[in-house]
A and B are shown apart, each in its own frame.
Chain A
Amino acid sequence: GAVVSQHPSWVICKSGTSVKIECRSLDFQATTMFWYRQFPKQSLMLMATSNEGSKATYEQGVEKDKFLINHASLTLSTLTVTSAHPEDSSFYICSARITRGNNEQFFGPGTRLTVL
């Protein structure tokens, strides 16, 4: 149980385009989802926290207009990287928490974004 999927697993795009990444909880309902990015050989950096039906809370230094997060249902959250640039190339990982009273977080497999 507690499986989280991400789509796509990798994407290559041209500079200036927008890319959408989906995060789905497959066998549970996730009231809260988290989006992280990870650079090579570094730990995870939390970008934002999203609760179903409300606006995402962004970490300091993360541009909310560039990284649009939507959590429209209890099983789906999306991250859209708008007007992507090469410096946005990274490994993006989502995680999901089952319920407000449950603290465990389960991670998706990640999406590798390369912006040319």
Chain B
Amino acid sequence: QKEVEQDPGPLSVPEGAIVSLNCTYSNSAFQYFMWYRQYSRKGPELLMYTYSSGNKEDGRFTAQVDKSSKYISLFIRDSQPSDSATYLCAMNRSGEKLTFGTGTRLTIIP
């Protein structure tokens, strides 16, 4: 069993829809949770960075962390074609290497 599980997709949704991306993990020691967006042939871009359980909102993006269930989510509201990318969840303990999910390929259909 992988430490971090993420549905690879692909996921296609119409423009304007709400997108829900999820990861589950097995290591209860993880403290920091991140979502990266990666366009084709580019490096990952840090979208959301959260510590422990709770919600964090930034514009159209909301990150949720439920440590009791070992489950994290990223919601994208009013999705745009420019949101089409691969989304990677990542997590770690402070100062340690990141453990990544496999990434979910998302396509927003105009």
Residues in chain A within 8 A of chain B (CB atoms): 4, 6, 34, 41-44, 46, 49, 91, 93, 95, 100, 103-110, 112
Interface size on B, residues (CB 8 A): 21
- Taking CB atoms and an 8 Å cut-off, the chain B residues in 26-68 that contact chain A are 32, 34, 36, 41-46, 49
Stretch at the interface among B14-22, B77-85, B89-97: B89-97
Cα separation A41 to B69 with both chains bound (whole Å): 28
The answer to whether B42 and A109 have CB atoms under 8 Å apart is: yes
- Ranked 6 nearest A-B pairs via Cβ: A107-B43, A110-B43, A109-B43, A107-B44, A43-B100, A43-B102
- With a CB–CB cut-off of 8 A, which chain B residues contact A109? 42-43
- With a CB–CB cut-off of 8 A, which chain A residues contact B36? 107
Say how far B88's CB is from chain A's closest CB, in angstroms: 6
Nearest to A93 among chain B residues (CB) is B43
The answer to whether B98 and A105 have CB atoms under 8 Å apart is: yes
- With a CB–CB cut-off of 8 A, which chain B residues contact A112? 41
Cα separation A80 to B103 with both chains bound (whole Å): 27
- With a CB–CB cut-off of 8 A, which chain B residues contact A95? 43
Answer whether A104 and B49 are a contact pair too, CB < 8 Å, given A43-B88, A44-B88: yes
Cα separation A41 to B8 with both chains bound (whole Å): 9
Nearest to B6 among chain A residues (CB) is A43
- With a CB–CB cut-off of 8 A, which chain B residues contact A4? 43
Say how far B58's CB is from chain A's closest CB, in angstroms: 14
Question: Residue A49 contacts which of B32, B44, B97 (CB distance < 8 angstroms)?
Answer: B97
Cα separation A91 to B38 with both chains bound (whole Å): 13
Nearest to B44 among chain A residues (CB) is A107
Answer whether A91 and B41 are a contact pair too, CB < 8 Å, given A44-B100, A105-B98: yes
Say how far B21's CB is from chain A's closest CB, in angstroms: 14
The answer to whether B98 and A46 have CB atoms under 8 Å apart is: yes
Answer whether A103 and B41 are a contact pair too, CB < 8 Å, given A43-B88, A44-B88: no
